Structures are given as C-alpha cells and as structure tokens.
C-alpha cells in the first residue's frame, strides 16, 4: 500500500532530515513510528502524502508515485487520511460542517449524503450529540476524535497519524487511542507516529525506530519489544526526555519487558496495559523495567 524507497529529504541546502529511508506498509498493516524528537518522524509521514517534497528516492502510494510531477496531488491526498497533533479543525465551522466540507467539495457528495456519512462517523467516535457545536466548545480529546471522524469521512485507503495524543491532557488520551485501536482492528492501513507504546503493543504489526533522519530499526512488534536489533535501547532515557519537552506519556525500555502482572492476562508489556491504568510510577518502575519520560504522569496507555 505504501512503499518508501531510499528517500532523502533536505530542508534547505544544508540540513538532511531523512537519510536513505526505506520501508513499507502493507494493506491492513499498522506501523508505529517512534524515535527521539527531531529524528524525522513527522517529515517521513508528511512525505508519504506529499505535504513535504523530497529530493531523491521514491514513494508509491497504492500504485501511484507520489513524487511524479504528473501525479494529481490533491486527489492523492484526498485518499489518505491525516490526523495531526493539533487537530486542525476549522474553528468557524460546526462539528458536522467540519465533517461535510471536504466530502462535498472534494468528493462531490451531495449535502444529504455528506451529512449522513458525517453523522454516522460522529456516532462511531461517540460524539453524536456534539454535531452542532463549534470545535472550541469541545475538549481536546473530543476534537481529536472529530479530526479522526473527518478523515474517515473521505473513505481513506490509509490513515497517517502524527502524534495524535501528545497535545492532550493525560485523561483524554485513551478516548482517542480507543478509536484508533478500533480502527486498527477493523483492518485500516495505518502509519502512526506515536510514543504510546501501549498502543504499539496492542495493535501494531511493526515498529519503526528513527534516529537522526535514519530508520535504525524496522521490526515486527514482537521482535521490537522482545529483542531489539538496533542499539536504541542504549539511548539514555534522559536524552530522549531532554529532546521532548512536551506533555506525553511515552516511555523507554530499559530492560527486557515482562508479562504485565495485572489480571487481564492478554498483555505483553507491563504498564502499557489498558487494564491497569491506576498503577503508580513506582510500582511500574519496580515491576517492569520501564521508565517514564514524563515524571508527572502515572501509568496509563
Ligand atoms: N520546515 C522545516 N524547515 C527546516 N527544518 C525542519 C523543518 N521541519 C523540520 N525540520 C527539521 O528536520 C528535523 C526532523 O524534524 P521532524 O519534525 O520530522 O522530527 P520529529 O521526529 O517529528 O520530531 P518531534 O518528535 O519533535 O515531532 C528536525 O531537525 C527539524 O528541526
Ligand atoms: Mg514530529
């Protein structure tokens, strides 16, 4: 579905943000992209739907070459849902209007058709009763769910997420992750930049780890969490923290993960568990070998 081959990307003449990046996302596959701040995660994902041009290499999206000057980029972008950290809803439009606009203008759907689709998707993300509100009247988590619904309204062939939960207050993160987990389980092709390792452990097929513009690890989830091939585990957690001053609940593996000791029984990584959100940091550290990168948070997905 998404083929990325030997992509180099420079911002200006001097700075190389992506170095020989090669990976792919198959239809129905969920790939999580993580790595320290500035490692090129957003740049990579933006190159996929041509929000950023790149200088060499190739990206093929559903058989269409993204960096071919003949490619109809607006049409291509309409087929790929993109969800950003800061929602990017139209503030002057009601929620339902946010969902209808591109359906009507880009896909040429009738207003009734767009309304029906929009309402169905709002219901799906649990926001049916908020259709007539403006974005500013919703919480961050609700706005991000609207942004996901808006992207889904275009019937995308794939969804790209760029840290969709990192601007949210901690208590709102799981409501957004829940929607993403459902989407993944329904077979949506997804490329997700996130540090939510709970999400990765639950639904990702593969995890890509980037550092300084390079894909330093591209592994099946089980391999990534079980036996890392790169030396990323040696990157001191403090370095990642220093580079990531934002509010988020990412965590970095220090030692081999164990089974979660909560009672749900279906988890691979302690503390990244939907079933034990109340575990404290100290309990988590003691039991799991994980360390929090944000001291302010207690365990959650
Ligand atoms: N528009 C731009 N112009 C110049 N340099 C840029 C631009 N956008 C990003 N960069 C630089 O490219 C590098 C990669 O940035 P990118 O935003 O892709 O990193 P990231 O891994 O997404 O980081 P974060 O976790 O902070 O979001 C960084 O060094 C950044 O400063
Ligand atoms: Mg980024």
45 and 193 Cβ atoms separated by less than 8 Å = yes
Q: In testing the pocket of ligand 1, which one of 18, 33, 40 has its CB within 8 Å of the most ligand atoms? A: 40
Q: In what order do the strands lie in the sheet with 15-25?
A: 15-25, 2-11, 56-61, 64-65
Q: Is the CB of 11 under 6 A from ligand 1?
A: yes
Which is the closest atom of ligand 1 to the Cα of 39?
A: 21
Strand spans (E) along the chain:
2-11, 15-25, 30-34, 56-61, 64-65, 80-83, 158-162, 190-193, 206-211, 214-220, 251-253, 290-292
43 touches ligand 1 (CB under 6 Å): yes
* 163 C-alpha to ligand 2 centroid (Å): 7
- pLDDT tens by residue, the chain, 301 residues: 999 999 999 998 889 999 999 999 999 999 999 988 889 999 999 999 889 999 999 999 999 999 999 999 888 888 899 999 888 899 999 999 999 999 999 999 999 999 999 999 999 999 999 999 999 999 999 999 999 999 999 999 999 999 999 888 888 888 999 999 999 999 999 999 998 888 888 899 999 999 999 999 898 988 877 665 555 544 443 343 333 333 333 333 333 334 444 544 333 344 444 444 444 433 444 444 343 333 222 222 2
CB of 38 closer than 6 angstroms to any ligand 1 atom: yes
Question: What pTM did the predictor assign?
Answer: 0.79
């Amino acid at each position: 579905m998404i083929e990325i081959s030997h992509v180099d990307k420079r911002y200006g003449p001097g700075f190389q943000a992506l170095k020989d990046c090669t990976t792919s996302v198959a239809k129905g596959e969920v790939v999580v992209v993580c790595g320290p701040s500035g490692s090129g995660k957003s740049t990579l994902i933006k190159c996929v739907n041509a929000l950023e041009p790149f200088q060499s290499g190739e990206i093929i999206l559903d058989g269409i070459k993204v960096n071919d000057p003949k490619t109809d980029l607006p049409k291509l972008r309409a087929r790929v849902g993109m969800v950003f950290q800061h929602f990017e809803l139209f503030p002057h439009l009601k929620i339902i209007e946010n969902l209808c606009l591109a359906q009507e203008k880009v896909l040429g759907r009738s207003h009734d058709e767009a309304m029906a689709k929009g309402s169905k998707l709002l219901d799906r993300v649990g926001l049916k009763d908020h259709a007539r509100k403006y974005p500013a009247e919703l919480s961050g988590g609700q706005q991000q769910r609207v942004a996901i619904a808006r992207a889904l309204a275009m019937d995308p062939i794939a969804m790209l997420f760029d840290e969709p939960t990192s601007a949210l207050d901690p208590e709102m993160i799981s409501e957004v992750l829940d929607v993403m987990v459902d989407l993944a389980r329904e077979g949506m092709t997804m490329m997700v930049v996130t540090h939510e390792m709970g999400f990765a452990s639950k639904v990702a097929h593969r995890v890509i780890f980037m550092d300084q513009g390079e894909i330093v690890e591209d592994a099946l989830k089980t391999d990534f969490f079980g036996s890392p091939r790169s030396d990323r585990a040696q990157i001191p957690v403090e370095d990642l923290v220093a580079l990531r001053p934002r509010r988020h609940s990412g965590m970095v593996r220090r030692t081999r993960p164990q089974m979660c000791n909560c009672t749900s029984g279906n988890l691979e990584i302690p503390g990244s568990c939907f079933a034990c959100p109340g575990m404290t940091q100290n309990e988590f550290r003691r039991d799991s070998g994980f360390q929090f990168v944000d001291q302010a948070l207690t365990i959650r997905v």
